[in-house]
Amino acid sequence: MMRMLLTGFSLFAMLALTCVLHVCADQRREAQVLPSERVQMEESNGAVLHFITRSNANDANAYFHQRSWLPDESMLFFWSDRTGRREVFGYLEKTGEIVQLQQEGDSHIQQFTAGMHENALYFARDKNVWEWSIDIDFSHSPTRIFVEERCIAEFPQDAGDAMLGINESCGGKGIVVGFNSRGPHANRVIWIDKTSGESREIMAVDYPISHIQCSWKTPGLISFARGYEGSQGDRATNLSEGELRARIHWADLTDREPWPIYPQIEGELVTHECWWVNDQMTFCSGQYHDGAAEQSHVKVYDPRLDRTYIIGPGSWWEGGTPEQVSRVNYWHAAGSPDGRFAAADNWHGIITLFSAKTSRHRILTQDHRTYGRGAHPHVGWSPSSSKLVFASNRYGNPDVCILFLPESWLENSW
């Protein structure tokens, strides 16, 4: 019996440590380039706003904690259903042109993230992890875009159909992917070497997980959102005495079990965490609520001090309606790569900027969503920390916007 158990364990370990390499042929092709749809306007505070899409399609930026831009910022990636299905498109800031990156007949892409150091896009498709290396030739009109496609690795044999996350590990050597598993555990997260395709296990658990993302500073360190039975979404409820609940968990490539960050108290909301500089994390959290009327500050967890502080205060008052209260509370927050600012959105499509130095705030832009309707902005940063990307419903259907911070705001931290 012991020998049989060891044999089964060895088989699982082998699946965890290796992947089938390059099961699909690599190819280089030219992408189709479409005319610009860009509309430019200036906000009253001096910020410049570009609507980079103005089609009748549903266009949306990448999720707020994913990288949307190539590292040299020559191309921004976004989602669009303008072909009749949801696909990944590119936007060229230099010319305003839109790039159709997928070919007709390509399988559905589940999630993507742009490279940290290389002009590449990483994504999951057909239970494989892929890389698109992007080559842009601006000497032609229209611009010529070449895509070199490479299959990095196949998912392990136990992988199910649900993709739980994809992110590039800091340092640029690996891709982290999460997926549901057919056993012996319900969900797994692995680190895949981008060159060899070999993989290492980060975690294998039997509870719900989502929002998988990699530390900006520490290779192999990840965060994820843990789900619990009996809780109301992201709010900790029905806690028994001594019970620990924490949406935010970390895990790494050591033998350590995943561990909680910022344990919640009864009734406390914690949601939409995002890595920041020095292994800090931004997230949204509040204690008070009355149905859908809920308090939600922008908070920062600092592991160096094991302390949490508020960088963007939300509000709460008795009798406030959900629509009223949500105007001065936040839902997604992300810190700038240079560590100077955090930006947050809310249910009304208001984008607010906070100084990391003083916690002072400025409203960047607003009226990008009607309460209760429309896509969330999911505001995210460019690598240079000089601009933001988000989704806008100002003109009826979701469009993708880039907002350029005023130069004077970048010269100081208020």
| pLDDT given at position 24 | 59
Q: Cβ atoms within 10 A of the Cβ of 149, count?
A: 18
- Name the phi and psi angles at 145, rounded to 5: -120, 125
CB 38 within 8 Å of CB 48: no
pTM of the model: 0.91
CA distance 275 to 219: 13
Give me the residue spans of the domains in the chain: 38-65+157-410
Tens-level pLDDT at each residue, the chain (414 residues): 333 333 343 344 444 444 444 445 578 999 999 999 999 999 989 999 999 999 999 999 999 999 999 999 999 999 999 999 999 999 999 999 999 999 988 899 989 999 999 999 999 999 999 999 999 999 999 999 999 999 999 999 999 998 999 999 999 999 999 999 999 999 999 999 999 999 999 999 999 999 999 999 999 999 999 999 866 789 999 899 999 999 999 999 999 999 999 999 999 999 999 999 999 999 999 999 999 999 999 999 999 999 999 999 999 999 999 999 999 999 999 999 999 999 999 999 999 999 999 999 999 999 999 998 899 999 999 999 999 999 999 999 999 999 999 888 887 767
User: Can you say whether residue 49 is alpha, beta or left, with left for phi > 0 and alpha for psi between -120 and 50 degrees?
Assistant: beta
Domain 38-65+157-410 has CATH 2.130.10.10: yes
